[in-house]
Chain A
Amino acid sequence: MLRRQSSVIFLVLGLIACNGGSKGKSNDSPAAIEFPPAGGGASFTNRTSGAFTFPAPNLSEDDLASHVTGDALFDEVFVGTQGQLNSGLGPVFNNTGCRSCHIKNGRGMPVMGDDGALRSHILTRISIDPELLTQFPGALPSPGEGPIGVPGLGGQLQDYAIFGSTAEAKVKIGWVDVPGTFADGTTYTLRRPSVTFSGANAALLNSTGVLSSLRQTPPIFGLGLLEAVSDETLLAMEDPDDKNGDGISGHLNHVWNPEKGALSIGRFGWKSSAPSLIAQTAGAFAEDMGVSNPLHPELDGSSDINIETLKHTAFYTQTLAVPARFNSSDPSVNTGAQLFKSVGCQSCHVAQLVTGSTHPVESLRNQSFSPFTDLLLHDMGEGLADHRPDFQATGSEWRTTPLWGIGLAQTVLPDSAFLHDGRARTIEEAILWHGGEAAKAQEKYRNLSADQRKALLAFLKTL
């Protein structure tokens, strides 16, 4: 569409006029907080609801053009009507386009099968308990010993369908209050989801041996940087046997890579079950929208979208800018940054990572940045456990969530929520759900004074 083309021209002209464009100005105050810019050269200063939607300022002209192409594809809405533009939706699906869940590229909202304005921002992964495999004739092991699909339903429930088809199930989320108390006596109330299936497959889904787990839409900026961290760097951070005795024993996931036909290190998804952004994107087209693609073709080898569309869409997620941190004059932010360390958050939410020198996108190479994640899997305790293993991630392990941009989550989408199933309505609730390896840090947080808790949250709001 011409609108897109003219955008590219505008952008390129803008860049030429400015001698290659300015780097995203970071307002980080070096004296106060000694972290590198949030996204290295991909940092960009904007603290509005559009904060997650900008291209990285350090892209080459060609890469910027690819990004804009990917942006347009990200906006496409697929339809079920054959022969029409963007046909290929379904027959069953969770949503109709990338942007339908990734509104403004932010965290999703904990809505499922709502009144139609948003469809579902949470999806349900399903699989067969490997121990009970023999009870499910027709269930086949998946490549790389990944989750075993439920016969007839696969690895994900699609709760919508095009005209003339039936959704696999409807999923309703109810919430159950979970009370708690801070050391200073202040009480709080968390909530956990309670899921109800309805429709023809409800009995199957409720049977023993069928595992299910909710997955909320994650924010998608900065992902190229996480992809560009070298395998060696990640392997060096692993400490599966807690040899350093800090009570933290993170390890990597090794997952099926459909591009290579072999196992690779997992980096994306709540349990690190996707090895690359192209694999993640292809999986989302196939599972979330029912759109076949070169990595998930139809039985006859054809697909609804071609490899260029897939690559450009993935490229968009590789090349979004990371919002620069908010430079607050509030002195408690500094206190909060110190508490972030002393409470132990930083043991897993590692402030600084460095990318390798081999990523195909030049601007992603050799960047020092602050995602606040180690990309490792950690046991998060019974409270958060979904009891659904995913490759080498156990039923209680989750990948450390990057905290960059978390202070903008509800600026971008006011009703967005935290953790894998959107149970945490605030950042503080998310902290309070931490258990397992993070139980000690959670305990320390609960023992902070009200002012200290406020300071720590004030710091997180600047990310």
Chain B
Amino acid sequence: MTFHSIKKLAVSTSLLLMISCGGSSGGGSDDRANLAVQAEQKAILTQFANAVIIPTYDDLAAKSAAMKEAAALFAGSQTQANLDATRAAWIATRTPWERSEAFLFGPVDSNGYDPQMDDWPLDHSKLEQTIKANLTSPTDVATAETDVKGFHSIEFLLWGYNKSKTIASMTAAEDAYLTELTQDHARITTLLRDSWTSGASPYAKVLSSAGEAGNDKYASTQSAVQEMFDAMVGISDEVANSKISGPYKDQDSNKVESQFSYNSLVDFQDNITSLRNVYFGTLNGTVASASISSFVKARNAALDAQVVAGITASIAAIGVIPEPFRDSLKDPAAAPKIDAAITTINSLRTLLETQVRPVVLP
């Protein structure tokens, strides 16, 4: 099973919970929203596409290209400094990716880029076989199964189990595969960025022109805002009830994402930051006037303040869990902190689903 697929289930089931409780939640599928609201929605969508999504994907493509360069340097000269630089480049690339996970819709999903970059868990025996098979052409890596490529295969090659990887233990075949994987990663992240910015129908345009004649993806601004909102809520469900709760309840360290680099908790925090970025319509923590936050605040300032507090509390609650999460999930002393983080994030999720949704999608 791919981690990718869990994400989708998490989204659809959490929405079902919300929608089976009826009421106004069926909104978003018609164009009854009045013209003033439609104009606000259009501004929110445009801001979201241009100030959140595109710069995040731009950053991802740039950081991934830097990781490719670092891996190439390391392949040319296997020094500790070059290995450290490649590891740092992986962590730097991880940030924009995790901060994109509150908007996992559009080309990242429909073109299959997500599993190409971020399949989890990886298939260890197949990875060994693949490395032994000595794939040498970019085409071979491009067509390799997704559970032997992407972030976590690269991560495993860079760190190994329990951060045991050393220059001495890195085989030539592993280094060659690492180089190819980073090249493929840079290729995919570029395709992802370009799908939003260029071509016949850049997806940023699709989103910001929702409801206009000729837009055959979103017949109304309302349905596009619902897309945005669903994805934003989806990541809170994913972090609380899948990424943290899954391995914790099963007491299974093997299920922890980003466990080789000990970057798991930073990943989870970045996911909540991604939610914040969608909500605020910016990347830097300020609130854009065209944002879900401003829209909510204008109608219910106390509710907006609750959401902001919930975001801050969620990031803080993850931050007090000791890293590596793969070890602390089995530590009785850490259990109350893990429980608290799950509860805090789920409170934010419930708030968004039950109270914010009817305001945003009237």
Contacts and interface: CB of A to CB of B under 8 A. Distances in A.
A414 B203 contact: yes
B219 A18 contact: no
Contact of A7 (B10, B107, B226): B10
B7 to A, nearest CB: 10
Nearest to B13: A7
Contacts of B245: 2-3, 6
A411 B29 contact: no
B277 interface: no
Given A86-B1, A115-B143, A117-B116, A25 B133 contact: no
Contacts of A99: 5, 8
Interface in B1-54: 1-2, 5-6, 8-22, 26, 28-32
A194 interface: no
Given A7-B9, A75-B5, A328-B30, 13 more contacts: A6-B249, A7-B13, A10-B17, A46-B28, A46-B226, A49-B105, A50-B15, A86-B1, A97-B5, A117-B116, A117-B188, A328-B31, A328-B219
Interface string A34-58: 0000000000111111100111010
B165 interface: no
A323 to B, nearest CB: 8
Contacts, number: 196
Nearest to A18: B21
Given A3-B10, A99-B5, A411-B217, A50 B246 contact: no
Given A328-B219, A329-B32, A411-B218, A4 B9 contact: yes
A77 B4 CA distance: 11
A163 B15 contact: no
A376 interface: no
Nearest to A115: B142
A47 B14 contact: no
Interface string A1-32: 11110110011011101100110110100000
B231 to A, nearest CB: 9
Contacts of A76: 1, 5
Nearest first, the 6 A-B pairs at minimum CB distance are A75-B5, A22-B22, A116-B143, A14-B17, A327-B30, A117-B112
A24 B22 CA distance: 8
Interface string A388-421: 0000000000000000000100111111000000
B110 A15 contact: no
A116 B142 contact: yes
A21 B20 CA distance: 5
A27 B230 contact: no
A11 B16 contact: yes
A68 interface: yes
Contacts of A462: 219
Nearest to A325: B29
B254 to A, nearest CB: 11
11 contacts: A2-B246, A3-B6, A7-B13, A25-B26, A48-B227, A49-B109, A77-B1, A84-B126, A329-B32, A414-B217, A426-B216
B77 interface: no
Contact of B29 (A14, A327, A414): A327
B216 A461 contact: yes
A96 interface: yes
Contact of B147 (A14, A71, A79, A103): A79
Contacts of B143: 115-116
Given A1-B246, A2-B250, A3-B10, A48 B107 contact: no
Contact of B126 (A50, A81, A103): A81
A103 B116 CA distance: 14
Nearest to A26: B26
A22 B9 contact: no
Most A CB contacts (10 A, CB to CB) among B8, B31, B201, B245 go to: B8
Contacts of B13: 7, 10-11, 68
B110 A49 contact: yes
A288 to B, nearest CB: 16
B220 interface: yes
Interface string B46-73: 0000000000000000000000000000
A429 to B, nearest CB: 13
Interface string B184-207: 000010010000000001010010
A440 interface: no
B29 A27 contact: yes
Contacts of B10: 3, 7
A346 to B, nearest CB: 22
Given A48-B227, A116-B116, A414-B106, A77 B16 contact: no
Contact of A118 (B28, B32, B111, B206): B111
Contacts of A11: 13, 16-17, 20
Contacts of B1: 1, 72, 75-77, 85-86
B13 to A, nearest CB: 4
Contacts of A415: 110-111
B113 interface: yes
Contacts of A3: 6, 9-10, 241-242, 245-246
Given A84-B123, A117-B188, A47 B223 contact: yes
Interface string B215-258: 01111100110110010000000000110011001100000000
Contact of A326 (B15, B30, B191, B224): B30
Given A10-B13, A50-B11, A77 B20 contact: no
A7 B30 CA distance: 29
A414 B206 CA distance: 10
Contacts of B249: 2, 6
B145 interface: yes
B129 interface: yes
Contacts of B22: 18, 21-22, 25
Given A103-B110, A163-B129, A48 B188 contact: no
B20 A118 contact: no
A291 interface: no
Given A15-B20, A72-B9, A86-B1, A48 B246 contact: no
A15 B230 CA distance: 20
A22 B25 CA distance: 11
A322 to B, nearest CB: 13
A3 B9 CA distance: 9
B172 interface: no
Interface in B103-131: 105-107, 109-113, 116, 123, 125-126, 129-130
Given A116-B116, A118-B112, A326-B219, A10 B14 contact: yes
Contacts of B8: 53, 75, 99, 104
Nearest to A52: B12
Contacts of B305: none
